[in-house]
Amino acid sequence: MDKLYGEIDKKISDDCIEFNKNIESNMRYRNEISSDLLNLEWLDLLENACPYIDNIIRNPKLTLIREENVNKIEKVRKTSVESVKNLAVHSQYIEKIDDLTKDVQPSKLLEVYNVETYNIYENRVIYTLLDKLNRFIRNKEQLIEDYESKNSKLLEYKGNTQVGLERINIKLQIGSREISDKDNSNGIDIENIKMRLYRIKKYTSNWDKSILMKELRKAHVKFIIPPVKKTNLILKNPNFQVAMKVWEFLCSREEIEEGNTSGLDTNGNDILLRILDHSFLMDYFIMDSIVKSKKEQKDNLSKYAFVIVNEQIKSIISVLYSCGAKITDEDIMKMVADAIKNEKEKSMSDSNEIKDKFKSEINDYLERMQDYLWEIKRK
C-alpha cells in the first residue's frame, strides 16, 4: 500500500511540475480610491478666487488697434494723410482727374481707423483659464456622481496550461466596492460639496455669457499655452494674482491626470501573478478530486495532500523572500509546527466531543432500556 501511494504521489508530483511549466497566464487589476474628494482645498481655492476673477471679467481691459481697409469711395467716412500716400502709390484707385482743376477723383481710398478690442494677451489668459476651470468642474461632478464605484477594486486573472492530453483553463474576476453611507460617506458631506460647486458654476455660467467671452469666441482666439508670460498687469493686479493661483493649480492637476492611466493595469505584478498561478494549481486539484462517491473524493484529496503542502510551503517562502520579509528558517519551522499542533488539538477536541456525545446518548439509551425492562418485569 505504501508503495502504491508513493507511485501515486510521484505521478501527481510530475503532473504538478508539468502544470507549472506549461502555465500561460496574465492578470489585470484596478484600484481606484477617490481620495481627491477627501481633500477640499481645491474647493476653498475656487470659492475664494471667484470674486477676483469676476472682477476681471466684469471690467475687462481694452486696447486700441489700428486697422486699414481699402473701401469704395462712397463708403469712406474719414480720410487721412495715409489715405493720400496710399493713393499716390496705387494709381489704379484713381477714377479720373479734372483737366481744369486737376482735382483727383478716386474710386477707392485707404481708410485708417482705431478699433477697441478685447483681444489682448491678459484677456486670452482668462479665456483659457475659464476653459480649464469648466473642464475641471465637469470632472469633479463626474467624480462625485461615480463616488461609490470609484472606491472599488477589481482583479482579473486568466490562465491556461496542459498536463498530458488534458487542457486546463481558468478565468477569475474578483471585485469589491466600499459601502458608503449616502449621508456621510467616509466623513464627506457630498451634498455640501454639490452645493458649493453649484455656487461656483453660477459664476462660470455668467462668465460664459459675458461680453468678454462672447467677443473672444467671435474672434476665434487661440488658447494660451503654459507657461504664462508675466506681464505687468498679471504681476501687479490683485485680481490677476489670485487668478494665477487658480491657473497654476489647474495646470498641476492636468499633469497629474495625464500621468494616471485609466482602466485596468495590464502590467500586472510578478509576485501577485505567482500567487494566482499557485491558486490555479490548487483549484485544479479540487476540480480533479470531484467525483460522485464521497469516499473516493476523500481518497483523491488525500493523494494530493502531500503535494499541496509542499507547493504551499514553496509558494509562501517565495512570497516572503520576494517581499523582503525578515524571517528565519526557525520562524518558518515554528509556524509549521504550531499549525500542526493546532490542527491536532482541534482534531482531538472534535474527537472527544464526539466520544462524549456518543457516550451520553448510549447512557440515555441504556437508562431507557432499563426502565422499560423494569416495567415489563413488574407486569
Looking at residue 36, its pLDDT comes to 59
Per-residue confidence at 288, pLDDT binned at 50, 70, 90? confident
List of residues 6+ apart from 216 with CB closer than 8 A? 118, 119, 123, 124, 127
Q: Select from 197, 204, 121, 150 the least CA-distant residue to 31.
A: 150
3-state secondary structure of 70: strand
Mean pLDDT of 171-181: 76
Separation between Cα atoms, residue 183 and residue 189, nearest integer Å:
7
Phi, psi of 22 (to 5 degrees): -95, 5
Do residues 112 and 82 touch, judged by C-beta distance below 8 A? yes
Which three cell numbers mark 185? Answer: 460617506
Going by their DSSP bridges, the two strands 152-163 and 24-32 should be labelled as antiparallel
Separation between Cα atoms, residue 286 and residue 280, nearest integer Å:
10
Looking at residue 279, its pLDDT comes to 86
Question: 34-43, 177-186, 206-215: which has the minimum mean pLDDT?
Answer: 177-186
Find the largest Cα–Cα distance for the chain: 167
CA count, 13 A, side-chain hemisphere, 7: 3
Structure confidence by residue, pLDDT tens digits, 224-252: 999 999 999 999 999 999 999 999 999 98
Looking at residue 75, its pLDDT comes to 75
pTM of the model: 0.49
Structure confidence by residue, pLDDT tens digits, 47-79: 999 999 999 999 999 886 666 677 777 777 777
Question: 159-168, 216-225, 265-274: which has the minimum mean pLDDT?
Answer: 265-274
Residue 24, by phi and psi: left (phi above 0), alpha (psi -120 to 50) or beta? beta
